[in-house]
Structure 1
Amino acid sequence: MTSTTEHPRTSPGTLTDEQVARYRRDGFVHLPGVVSRPDAARWAKAALAARERLADHHSGAAFTQLLQLWRHDEELRELTLHPGLAAIATRLAGVPLRLWHDQLLIKEPHNGAATEFHQDQPYWPHTGSRHALSAWVALVDVPAERGCMTFIPGSQRLTGLRAQDLTDRDDLMNLAPELRFRPRVTVPLRAGDCTFHDSRLAHTATPNHTDDPRVAHVVIYVDADTRLAPEPAHPVTEPLGLAPGDRLPDAHFPRLGPAPR
Structure 2
Amino acid sequence: MTTQVFSRTLEKFSDDGFTPLGEVISPDDLAVYRVIYDRLLSGDIESGDKRSDLGSHVPRKEGVRENITQIMWPSALHPPLCDLPLHRRALTMARELIGADAELDFDMMIHKAPHTAVATPWHQDAAYWVDMPDRRAVSIWVALDDADLDNGCMWYVQGSHQEPLRPHRPTSDGRNIECDCSEDEPGATPVPVRAGEAVAHSGTTLHYSRGNTTDGTRRAYILNYRPAAMIQLERERGADHGLNENVRQVRNPDAAED
1:224 aligned to which of 224, 228, 235 = 228
1:172 corresponds to: 179
Partners of 1:196 and 1:166 lie apart in 2 by 25
1:42 corresponds to: 32
Q: 1:158-209: per-residue Cα shift (whole Å, max 9, x none)? A: 33445454679x95227xx9x9631211011101100000011000100111
Q: 1:46-89: per-residue Cα shift (whole Å, max 9, x none)? A: 10111122242335254101111111224433358621111111
Q: Does 1:145 align with 2:147?
A: no
Structure 2 counterparts to residues 98-177 of structure 1, below 5 A: 98-161=103-166, 163-165=168-170, 171-173=178-180
Q: Which has the higher helix share?
A: 2
1:186 and 1:166, CA in 2 relative to 1: closer, same or farther beyond 3 A? Answer: farther
SS of 1:128's partner is coil
Q: Does structure 1 retain, via aligned residues, the 8 Å contact 2:143–2:221?
A: yes
Q: TM-score, normalised by structure 2?
A: 0.76
Q: 1:205-258: per-residue Cα shift (whole Å, max 9, x none)? A: 001111121001100101211112898966535669xxxxxxxxxxxxxxxxxx
SS of 2:201's partner is strand
1:18 corresponds to: 8
1:29 and 1:86, CA in 2 relative to 1: closer, same or farther beyond 3 A? Answer: same
Q: Which runs of 5+ in 1 are unaligned?
A: 1-10, 241-261
Q: TM-score, normalised by structure 1?
A: 0.76
Partners of 1:238 and 1:74 lie apart in 2 by 15
1:209 and 1:223, CA in 2 relative to 1: closer, same or farther beyond 3 A? Answer: same
Letter in 2 for 1:201: T
Partners of 1:112 and 1:154 lie apart in 2 by 28
Report which stretch shifted further, 110-119 or 58-67.
58-67
| Number of residue pairs matched by the alignment | 226
Q: Which runs of 5+ in 2 are unaligned?
A: 57-65, 247-258
* Runs of 4+, deviation exceeding 4 Å: 11-15, 160-168, 229-235, 237-240
1:194 corresponds to: 198
Q: Does structure 2 retain, via aligned residues, the 8 Å contact 1:137–1:218?
A: yes
Aligned-residue CA RMSD in angstroms? 3.0
